[in-house]
Amino acid sequence: MSNQSIQPAEAASALAEIQARRDQVISESMIPNWYWAAIGVLMLGFMAAIETRQPWVVAVGSVGYGVGLTLVITRLTRRHRAQVSNRMLGVRGVLAITVMAVSLVGIGLATGFGLEALGTPRPATISGAVTAVAMTISGPLLMRYLRGVMTARPLGEG
């Protein structure tokens, strides 16, 4: 080891560079806003197809959903190669993701069963639309929250 001492300005510059690189990885790993709407549209189409109860429509809707989901995920993974370690999310991040997922399921089920109880035609399709809108709105909010959680973590924290 060298006996040279590191100057405070050099240390500050190195830490700033590490912070900038971490922020870049976090930014590149965030799920983009278009993803949430795309998944919502695919989900809505799938539900609408199933609700017709026409075998050929269900088949076309199922294949369309599968192909569409594959295309969306392929585009996402090709453009967003950076992946943040789960440790960066921490308990708060994991809890936020869980709350969002459970909330979306709850919104969909409550809306669907409520509409069915009222005798509304196509309750699953309507509840799917409500859930798709909720996902399109809440997905980017979740990403903003997770970005804040990850960037607030001290450098070097596991």
Tens of pLDDT, residue by residue over 109-131, are: 999 999 999 999 999 999 999 99
- Cite the beta strand spans of the chain per DSSP E: none
Domain boundaries, position 71:
32-152
What is the number of structural domains in the chain? 1
26 within domain boundaries? no
19 within domain boundaries? no
User: Looking up tokens 């799920």, which residue turns up?
Assistant: 31
Query: Helix, strand, coil % (nearest 5) of the chain?
Result: 80, 0, 20
| Closest alpha carbon to 99 in 158, 69, 142, 132 | 142
Give residue-wise pLDDT tens across range 1-52. 455 787 778 877 877 787 777 777 777 778 899 999 999 999 999 999 999 9
157 within domain boundaries? no
158 within domain boundaries? no
Q: What interhelical angle do 33-52 and 55-79 show, nearest 10?
A: 170
Q: For residues 75 and 67, give the distance between their C-alpha atoms in angstroms, rounded to a whole number.
A: 12
Question: Given pLDDT bands bounded at 50, 70 and 90, which one contains residue 84?
Answer: low
Q: For residues 4 and 71, give the distance between their C-alpha atoms in angstroms, rounded to a whole number.
A: 54
74 within domain boundaries? yes
Residues 6+ apart with CB under 8 A from 135: 36, 39, 40, 43, 104
3 within domain boundaries? no
42 within domain boundaries? yes
Question: Given pLDDT bands bounded at 50, 70 and 90, which one contains residue 85?
Answer: low
User: Looking up tokens 């969306």, which residue turns up?
Assistant: 72
24 within domain boundaries? no
Residues 6+ apart with CB under 8 A from 95: none
Residues 6+ apart with CB under 8 A from 150: 26, 84, 88, 89, 93
Q: What is the pTM of this model?
A: 0.79
- 10 Å Cβ neighbour count for 110? 12
